[in-house]
Amino acid sequence: MPEIEADIGYHPRSWQVECHTGLKRFSVLVCHRRAGKTVMAGVTLLDAAGITTKSMARYVYLAPFLKQAKAVAWGPYLKPQLQKIPGVKINESELWGELPNGARISVYGADNPDALRGLYIDGIVIDEVADMKPEVWGQIIRPALADRNGWALFIGTPKGPNLFSEVYHKARKDPDWYTRLYTYRDTGCISPEEIELMRKTMTENQFRQEMLCDFDASSDNQLITIDVAHAAAGKHIAEAEYEYAPRILGVDVARYGGDRSVIFGRQGLVSFDPKIYTMIDNMSLAGKVAEHWVEWQPDAVFIDAGRGEGVIDRLRQLGFSPIPIDFGGRPNKPTFANRRAEMWWEMADWLRSGASIPDITELKIDLCGPTYSYANAAGKLELESKDQMRKRGMSSPDLADALALTFAHPVAVTRGPGALITMHTDRARQNMTHMPDDTTLIQTHNDEEYVMSVLETIGRQIEAGEINYDEVERMLLSNQSPGVRADIGLTHHFCNGVYMREMFAPAGSLMLGHAHSEKALNIVLKGCVRMFADNVFKEVRAPQVLVSEPHVRKLGYVVEDLTWINVIATETTNVEDIEKRFIIKSPTYVDWETSKLI
């Protein structure tokens, strides 16, 4: 049958002409809102159907929801254009139009992907793929294109990390794919006056995403932003920077048949490739957790108690000690609505502090998926539920939930120098304090011989350049809950332009001090401390007067109850102002201090 010719009233803009002439078998078009991408894509279907020589050719327009496909494409564009072609058959109830050559254009919604199973597809337009489940492409559409060498055109506006962003970024590197990105500047579809009004009435992130086609723009209520997830993905962190930290496993147990059960390991700033299982029963999953437990020797294993009762019971039968965590349970901090919100917040802080995650698209989608709000009676931070996410077309964030479980509780370190910080044996007890001055923290230990051996080990590692003070500080802070006070005394004295800060630290305290911005006079009134500073170990015993140099950090162990006074010349009596001038807080400490306010 010869090609079909008809005037459907389409007058393409220059960018649309460029696309029509450049499209390949697989193409991705990223366009700003109201650019005319749906019209252009619909004409692409009509053109292909009109010139095809294939028998009973089948073309598809696919939107996230069938109602959306009918309202956005079928009603305003596809059906009116089809009706302008002589001899076309229209089936309104099934939403398809058939040309005289037998080629058919049908409209589907990705909310019922099974309707596409078993079909062959000669060409498909996938509109707003950002709102579709990732498996729709790989499990259903791509196989349907195989037997007749069908083509696919992805169109949409960015919406963070998802199937659309993954396809676009991969396609840019593949010469067999056609990719184009059109911002409002490229199409000229919207007047400058309207653009200016949009800038004033939209948030910066909204404008970046909708009009500048920025995949890295995040929603304003997104807990973990796209930028943060991208920065952490695939980041390399040397083993020496996390080997001191506890090994923690989080296990999220599938709730529904389509969900995934996930085992996720984390050690300090590093998380490792997760174990992902689908359609696995609790007994089998318990066996997988037990295998990983024996292999990796974690210090703690936290398991979702909501659907993991069988896994927890089975592991206990096998002699393990899993810790059940109720996502809806009571949080440790009163600012959160439940444990899940609290764990996710801790995970977000961890990611922003320079953490590393596997570069897995599904993980990044999971992390950036849930939004947060304070829209509850108590006005507490609440994370979007899995059911709420499903209603807007998002998958259950199973990978991210498993990783979040590794933040359920502080965990003791049982290996390496970091074990000093969280010993939980008969020979040690510990507390921590945030000092509002020049001492980062103090921890109390009873075993002097053990503490000194570890202190000397850390000192040698610092001297050899294997670790630095910031890494030591991270060790001390990484497994603690800010704000827990130890038996520390602090007194401020002011007289005639002199400030004296008197600190008392009990015997057995381990101290890491901030660096000072200038020289300071120090008076040791009482006690004894063994310190490592300037790559030198020394013992300071009272009574003694000494001068501390600027930009030097001190790591010390208090052998006898210590009273130490810093003497600073200043006219101000505002302690906060003195600290700002005199103390240099590391980025690691500032991040930790900020977390106290949450």
What pLDDT does 378 receive?
A: 80
Domain extents in the chain: 14-210, 230-405, 414-598
What's the pLDDT tens digit per position in 527-564? 998 888 877 788 899 999 999 888 888 888 888 888 99
Indicate the SS3 state at residue 64: coil
Q: How far apart are CA 335 and CA 376, in angstroms?
A: 12
Q: How far apart are CA 292 and CA 82, in angstroms?
A: 58
What pLDDT does 326 receive?
A: 93
Q: How far apart are CA 314 and CA 351, in angstroms?
A: 33
Q: How far apart are CA 367 and CA 384, in angstroms?
A: 12
Mean pLDDT of 149-164: 88
What pLDDT does 436 receive?
A: 33
% pLDDT > 70, the chain: 86
What pLDDT does 580 receive?
A: 85
> For the residues of 300-332, what is the DSSP string, one character each?
EEEEETTT-HHHHHHHHHTT---EEE-TTS--S
Query: Where do we find the tokens 């960015």?
Result: 158
Q: Which fold has domain 414-598?
A: Jelly Rolls (2.60.120)
| Count of CB atoms situated within 10 Å of the CB of 325 | 23
Indicate the SS3 state at residue 551: coil
What's the pLDDT tens digit per position in 458-468? 777 777 776 77
Cα 469-472-474 angle, rounded to 5 deg: 110
Cite the beta strand spans of 407-554 per DSSP E: 439-444, 489-495, 498-505, 509-513, 515-516, 520-533, 536-541, 544-548
Structure tokens at 288: 């997988």
Whether 570 has a pLDDT exceeding 60, the answer reads: yes
pLDDT tier, 437 (very low <50, low <70, confident <90, very high otherwise): very low
Mean pLDDT of 112-127: 94
The listed CATH number (3.40.50.12170, 3.40.190.10, 3.40.50.300, 3.90.1150.10) that belongs to domain 14-210: 3.40.50.300
Whether 190 has a pLDDT exceeding 70, the answer reads: yes
Q: What mean pLDDT, rounded, does the chain reach?
A: 84
Contacts of 354 (CB under 8 A, 6+ apart): 235, 237, 269
DSSP-derived pairing of the beta strands 498-505 and 151-156: unpaired
What pLDDT does 4 receive?
A: 67
Indicate the SS3 state at residue 178: strand
What's the pLDDT tens digit per position in 142-156? 999 999 999 999 999
Cα distances (angstroms) measured from residue 301 to each of 166, 249, 298, 317, 322: 32, 5, 7, 15, 5
What's the pLDDT tens digit per position in 15-55? 999 999 999 999 999 999 999 999 999 999 999 999 999 99
What pLDDT does 388 receive?
A: 78
In CATH, 230-405 is 3.30.420.240: yes
Contacts of 516 (CB under 8 A, 6+ apart): 438, 548, 550, 551, 552, 582, 583, 584
Whether 430 has a pLDDT exceeding 60, the answer reads: no
Is the pTM here over 0.75, yes or no?
Answer: no
What pLDDT does 40 receive?
A: 95
What pLDDT does 558 receive?
A: 84
Whether 449 has a pLDDT exceeding 80, the answer reads: no
